């Protein structure tokens, strides 16, 4: 029900209207208040707009927009924003603007302004129905919590929840008793260090049921097995 790359936004569906999107909003609230889960793939700009409306800063819009784009597109607009100049490869940049139905004549003087307008179009205007459905629910249930009472708190929560190999390794809890168990733990640690963001989220979903860093430790038990059916087993309570 969402589109985008590293950060995603909800999109219009023929089978979802106000009641269905309100239900999704209640599920988001229930997930956090019950088990401290919040989907960090959901655009920070969307969440902040649900909570704080027009107070959302330009920096948050642009940051979320870059995460919404592919890596190649992010690199393209990053260079434009930093230099405040039109790129040398105007054909690629023109294709980018056409993809988002840009109607303005883009010049050096207005390129940053237009990119911000496109960011707001994609992150707020297009999912407006979903934001309108979520806004009263999230403001009533989440805004009073410390993780959602300011934009800086929301950004800190995202940073805390986003998984990295270092955070996962820090959360591991294991008490190996033999050299073989120590070797098995070292293998698991090497495996985790080699995971990229996508595979790390899958590892967490397999072991904890969530794709974000939880507050509880990840307990590792090493079982002795001599059959061909030896395999990792993930359990979560």
Residue 230: predicted pLDDT: 62
Instruction: State the residue for tokens 């999912």.
Output: 127
CA dihedral 117, 120, 122, 127 (to 10 degrees): -150
* Contact criterion met (CB below 8 Å) for 216 and 166: no
Residue 197: predicted pLDDT: 86
List pLDDT tens digits, range 167-220: 999 999 999 889 988 998 999 999 999 999 889 999 999 988 888 987 778 888
Q: State the DSSP H helix or E strand holding residue 71, giving kind and residue range, or none if neither.
A: helix 71-83
Mean pLDDT estimate for the chain: 91
Residue 229: predicted pLDDT: 60
pLDDT above 60 for 99: yes
* Contact criterion met (CB below 8 Å) for 195 and 203: yes
Question: What are the residue boundaries of the structural domains of the chain, listed by start?
Answer: 2-160, 165-219
Residues in the chain: 237
pLDDT band at 89 (very low <50, low <70, confident <90, very high): confident
Task: State percent of the chain over pLDDT 90.
Answer: 74
Instruction: State the residue for tokens 């260079």.
Output: 79
Residue 237: predicted pLDDT: 59
pLDDT above 80 for 119: yes
Helix, strand, coil shares, percent, the chain, to 5 = 60, 5, 35
Cβ burial, residue 87 (10 Å; 0-12/13-18/19+): middle
pLDDT band at 88 (very low <50, low <70, confident <90, very high): confident
């Amino acid at each position: 029900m969402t589109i985008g790359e590293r950060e995603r936004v909800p999109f219009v569906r023929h089978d979802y209207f106000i009641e269905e999107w309100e239900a999704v909003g209640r599920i988001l609230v229930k997930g956090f208040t019950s088990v401290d889960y919040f989907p960090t793939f959901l655009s920070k700009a969307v969440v902040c707009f649900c909570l704080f409306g027009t107070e959302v800063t330009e920096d948050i819009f642009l940051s979320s927009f870059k995460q919404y784009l592919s890596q190649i597109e992010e690199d393209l607009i990053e260079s434009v924003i930093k230099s405040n100049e039109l790129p040398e490869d105007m054909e690629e940049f023109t294709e980018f603007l056409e993809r988002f139905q840009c109607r303005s004549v883009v010049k050096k003087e207005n390129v940053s302004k237009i990119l911000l307008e496109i960011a707001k179009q994609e992150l707020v205007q297009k999912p407006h129905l979903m934001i309108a459905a979520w806004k009263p629910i999230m403001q009533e249930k989440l805004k009073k919590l410390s993780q959602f009472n300011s934009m800086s708190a929301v950004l800190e929560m995202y940073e805390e929840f986003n998984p990295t190999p270092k955070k996962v390794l820090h959360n591991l809890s294991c008490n190996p008793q033999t050299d073989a168990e120590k070797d098995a733990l070292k293998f698991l640690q090497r495996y985790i260090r080699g995971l990229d963001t996508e595979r790390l989220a899958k590892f967490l979903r397999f072991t904890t049921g969530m794709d974000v860093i939880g507050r509880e430790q990840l307990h590792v038990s090493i079982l002795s097995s001599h059959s061909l059916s030896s395999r990792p087993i993930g359990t979560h309570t």
